[in-house]
Amino acid sequence: MTDDLLGRHRAVLPDWLALYYEEPIEITHGEGRHVWDAEGNRYLDFFGGILTTMTAHALPEVTKAVSEQAGRIIHSSTLYLNRPMVELAERVAQLSGIPDARVFFTTSGTEANDTALLLATAYRRSNTILAMRNSYHGRSFSSVGITGNRGWSPTSLSPLQTLYVHGGVRTRGPYASLSDDAFIAACVDDLVDLLGHTRPPAALIAEPIQGVGGFTSPPDGLYAAFREVLHERGILWIADEVQTGWGRTGEHFWGWQAHGQNGPPDIMTFAKGIGNGMSIGGVVARSEIMNCLDSNSISTFGGTQITMAAGLANLNYLLEHDLQGNARRVGGLLIERLRAAAAPVPAVREVRGRGLMIGIEITRPGTDEADPRAAAAVLEAARESGLLIGKGGGHNTSSLRVAPPLSLNVAEAEEGAAILENALRSIQ
């Protein structure tokens, strides 16, 4: 970096603002599923800015919508009628599956989860929250307080009383050896027992697939079983769809639908991919919950015209081009290819996920002990060969995260899988 951008970064930004790679890269532009760095190197992007560039880099339909809106007006706040915000809210409410839904837009997933917690605690008049072990819900004071992943929880102080529930990780913990049905039954029994020892909670918040946790998930139906227990007691269910929404899992438009036998969640949060890189988050809830606040509130930057224009254009594109179906088809091929590539590598404990949301867990061979050094080495080797992936997980961050834009084609999936195969072999 000719102007020592890394040195300037370290001089003015927090030490905890992590950068990938021993020699961090500056991404300057992108197109489709590829990006380029400041040195002119081209990469196949299998992480999409942490799942935010969900559709494609420089998608013409989105860039055109942003440009045209910027030429009219960029921002006015929620104090004035906003046509793009109303139009996107109508679409999201209809797609959510929540009856009589109301939508509130924010600027991020963190802020969306923060709002959901405000609504749930106000509606239920309780500050007790149930959350999942190994979960991640954002970086604000309240969302850190319900994050069940030690690596992303810098303080134990919180305005909430949080109780952590079993079930978010299928292959670890005391119930890992059980069948799926027995696993669900054991987690439900644990939840019922927990509720017998505490004052009534406001809500359970859960990611259908844990994102930062390494793309772990319970068996399908767990949250439906939880929902039955919660509903009997008036406890709300908040589905955190920040990473799973908009068709990424392939099989469903929303992650909660894999657990939807007892109906949709009471509250749902979203963010990440809906803006294809623009800063959009939001909350959907039944009107009685959304309207329970008895004081004024606004959002200065939530739902601003330019981000709503991007969201509308992106949503139209992904629906018209059936990117959910593409995630199912291409993601299915990719995960099977990665499982075959990982089979002879002793350090790979598990390849998991669905659609274009795939996790590869790295451990010390023959053990369940995390190996973050080996995971970092795979990350480096992939970058050197022209592939960008992410990492995450509990147990010292030893899971690789693979989440390409949903327009990924078969040839690109095969190219990325081949690079990952070589990167995994390099750590043997």
**Cβ neighbours, 10 Å, residue 176:** 11
Rounded Cα gap, residues 308 and 87, in angstroms:
9
278 in the same domain as 377: no
The last residue of one of the domains, among 286, 320, 354, is 320
Mark out the alpha helices in 4-108 (DSSP H runs): 5-12, 48-51, 60-70, 83-96
- CATH at 234: 3.40.640.10
Mark out the alpha helices in 177-320 (DSSP H runs): 180-195, 222-232, 287-290, 305-320
The answer to whether 136 touches 149, Cβ cutoff 8 Å, is yes
289 in the same domain as 359: no
Give the pLDDT of residue 395.
Answer: 67
pLDDT over 80 (residue 396): no
Give the total number of structural domains in the chain.
2
pLDDT over 70 (residue 356): yes
The last residue of one of the domains, among 320, 340, 374, is 320
Predicted confidence band of residue 152 (pLDDT cuts 50, 70, 90):
confident
Tracing tokens 């920040």 back to the chain, one arrives at 242
Q: What are phi and psi of 333, to 5 degrees?
A: -65, -40
37 in the same domain as 118: no
Rounded Cα gap, residues 428 and 179, in angstroms:
32
103 in the same domain as 243: yes
Rounded Cα gap, residues 47 and 44, in angstroms:
9
pLDDT over 80 (residue 394): no
The last residue of one of the domains, among 268, 298, 320, is 320
Over pLDDT 90: what percentage of the chain?
Answer: 90
pLDDT digit string, tens, across residues 10-24: 999 999 998 999 999
343 in the same domain as 194: no
- Beta strand 128-132 pairing with 161-165: parallel
- Compute CA 343 distance to the chain's CA centroid, rounded to the nearest angstrom: 27
125 in the same domain as 32: no
393 in the same domain as 269: no
Taking residues 330-348, report their average pLDDT.
97
342 in the same domain as 290: no
Domain range for 419: 5-58+322-425
120 in the same domain as 210: yes
- CATH at 22: 3.90.1150.10
339 in the same domain as 231: no
Mean residue pLDDT of the chain comes to 95
260 in the same domain as 405: no
